[in-house]
């Protein structure tokens, strides 16, 4: 079923613009056509529900009359226009067409929501696969740190406190040295002997 259409015919563009603006602001109608004729006559056509179109046409007529008594030529509302009028008044939206547009918009929203959900699922699956791959990765063997090697000239240049610290960190448990009383020479000998036992030269 087609919507109602309302028309106002004015003299001059100023009155036509005022009428169109009043119709669109006063009711839920859509502007579908503007046509001109000789003598400066302009017709504005709107469409919508019957009550909305009637209100829009009356408000527009009053607004045009306030501009000038002779600017409004005529006004008319067709409550149930024939579908064949589309041949002379293009683009008359019907209720069915509006429903089709709304259905199409709803389908677009649903498709976008579905695509977003699929993208999120793919991202979560990718993260899970990366976590599994990390869990399956072979563990790196721990590498024991090689203790530093000290030669005697280097030890001779060290302070007594540093030598005591090195001796205290030696792994041998059978070294019995009184760190507080041991001389620098004794500490150096202990360090060198410990390194020689491990094959260091």
45-85 pLDDT, tens digit each:
999 999 999 999 999 999 999 998 889 999 999 988 887 87
- The confidence score (pLDDT) of residue 201 equals 47
In the chain, % of residues over pLDDT 70: 73
- The confidence score (pLDDT) of residue 65 equals 92
Domain 4-100 falls in which CATH fold? Alpha-Beta Plaits (3.30.70)
Q: 7: pLDDT confidence band, cut at 50, 70 and 90?
A: very high
Q: 96: pLDDT confidence band, cut at 50, 70 and 90?
A: very low
- The confidence score (pLDDT) of residue 143 equals 56
CA distance 16 to 4: 20
pLDDT over threshold 80, residue 123:
no
Beta bridge partners of 36: 42
pLDDT over threshold 90, residue 90:
no
């Amino acid at each position: 079923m087609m919507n109602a259409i309302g028309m106002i015919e004015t003299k001059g563009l100023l009155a036509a613009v005022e009428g169109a603006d009043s119709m669109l602001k006063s009711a839920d109608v859509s502007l579908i056509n503007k046509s001109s004729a000789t003598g400066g006559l302009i017709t504005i056509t709107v469409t919508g529900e019957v009550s909305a179109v009637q209100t829009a046409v009356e408000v527009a007529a009053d607004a045009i009359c306030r501009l000038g008594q002779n600017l409004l030529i005529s006004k008319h509302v067709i409550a149930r226009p024939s579908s064949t009028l589309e041949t002379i008044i293009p683009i008359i939206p019907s209720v069915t067409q509006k429903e089709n547009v709304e259905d199409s918009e709803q389908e677009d929203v649903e498709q976008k929501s579905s695509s977003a959900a699929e993208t999120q699922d793919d991202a979560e699956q990718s993260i899970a696969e990366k976590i599994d791959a990390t869990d399956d990765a072979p563990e790196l063997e721990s590498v024991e740190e090689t203790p530093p090697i000290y030669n005697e000239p280097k030890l001779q240049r060290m302070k007594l406190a540093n030598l005591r610290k090195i001796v205290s960190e030696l792994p041998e448990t059978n070294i019995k040295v009184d760190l507080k009383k041991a001389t620098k020479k004794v500490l150096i000998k202990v360090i060198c002997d410990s390194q020689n036992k491990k094959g260091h030269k």
